[in-house]
Structure 1
Amino acid sequence: MADAMPAAHYLPHDTPMVLVESLCAIGEQHARCRVTVGASGVLRPFLDMNGDLPAWYALEMMAQTIGVWSGWHGRRRGEPPRPGLLLGARALRCAQPVFPQGSELDICISLLLRDERIGSFECEILRAGETLATGRLNTYQPEENEINQLLKE
């Protein structure tokens, strides 16, 4: 994607809470983001003492890739990135306890079902074509007044 911005451009997050680095591919029903596990990248604050990323971060990397997908489509409509909520995950599986230092991870999401505000996505994290994590995430896009109400309480 020659015109792609860094993944953070499509998210309502601030550093250090951005866990994906680049948007590599996007379409109407899919997206692929990439991140490298290493001390010089965005994952630095979350690495263990060996420089590895605990596998439970897979859930947030998948959710942020969904956020990038949503933000990209929103920007095409002239809208800024909006917060979304993760409702839950089903069948989240990681093949190993950590993503090793130096790994280049591709986080892929595919839209399964969507209405105006609820979506379901099949997600996968790959390293050199090998599947390291999978799961199905369900998301909710709140209205502005709902976000304001949540932040008040």
Structure 2
Amino acid sequence: MSQYLPPAEYLPHDAPMLLLAEVISVTEDSAHCQVAIGAESVLAPFINAQGELPGWYTLELMAQTIGVWSGWHRRQQGQQRISLGMVLGARELICAAGSLPAGATLDIQVNLLMHDERVGSFDCTICAEGDLLATGRVNTFQPTQDELTILFNQGSTA
């Protein structure tokens, strides 16, 4: 039995966009999540005809694991409300095979490089059974509630 809540408790995502199945660990400067690639997994809507997950999902898997890290820390500080974070960009994001293999259980690991109240940078890896499948550095931004209100109300008119 895991000491961690399901990923949905830390992230502002619902199915089908919740791409993580389990939180394995969270520390002061890292998080580790897992998800399986298969017809019965949360990734089922996104796998191709060969049962693989296209490589472009690696960024979102990394970003959601960072979100778990952030959400877990917020809960530790007594904040129950889930906050929306944003990916500023990724550097050296590599998924050498171009896809993630059918039937694999993915281990997504993020390690904090730098963080202040609003900006973070994480080294990220995705492995399966000890094989390194994807790497990258992901930079994130935590907008204020006022900034989110402005952002999401830009298109609305009175």
TM-based fold match above 0.5: yes
TM-score under structure 2 normalisation? 0.94
CA positional deviation for 1:9: 1.3
What CA distance in whole angstroms lies between the structure 2 residues aligned with 1:40 and 1:2?
21
Please say if residues 92 and 137 of structure 2, whose CA atoms lie closer than 8 Å, have aligned partners that are also in contact: yes
Q: 2 CA distance for matches of 1:24 and 1:2?
A: 7
The answer as to whether partners of 2:2 and 2:24 remain within 8 angstroms in 1 is no
Measure the CA separation in 2 of the matches of 1:81 and 1:112: 23
**Unpaired runs of at least 5, structure 1:** none
CA distance in 2, matches of 1:17, 1:32: 19
Give 2:75's aligned residue.
Answer: 75
The residue aligned with 2:46 is 46
Corresponding residue number in structure 2 for 1:7: 7
List per-residue Cα deviations over 1:100-142 (Å, max 9, x = no partner): 1110000000000011100000000011111100000000000
In 2, Cα distance between the equivalents of 1:93 and 1:29? 22
Greater Cα radius of gyration, structure 1 or 2? 2
CA–CA distance in 1 between the matches of 2:8 and 2:104? Answer: 20
**Unaligned regions of 5+ residues in structure 2, if any?**
none
CA RMSD across the alignment: 1.0
User: Which residue of structure 1 aligns with residue 115 of structure 2?
Assistant: 114
Runs of 4+ in structure 1 over 3 Å off: none
Q: Distance in 2 between matches of 1:100 and 1:126?
A: 11
**C-alpha deviation, 1:95, in angstroms:** 2.1
CA contact (8 A) 2:48 2:54 kept: yes
Whole-angstrom distance in 2 between the partners of 1:128 and 1:81:
32
2:16 counterpart letter in structure 1: P
**What CA deviation, in whole Å up to 9, does each residue of 1:63-106 have, x standing for no partner?**
00000000011111222221000000000011211111110000
CA shift, 1:50, in A, is: 1.7
C-alpha distance in 1 between matches for 2:110 and 2:101? 22
Please list, as runs of the form range in 1=range in 2, the aligned pairs for 1:1-153 lying within 5 A after superposition: 2-79=2-79, 80-153=81-154
**Take 2:2 and 2:85, find their aligned partners in 1: how far apart are those partners?**
27
* Alpha-carbon distance between aligned partners in 2 of 1:4 and 1:113, rounded to the nearest angstrom: 24
- What TM-score, normalized to structure 1? 0.97
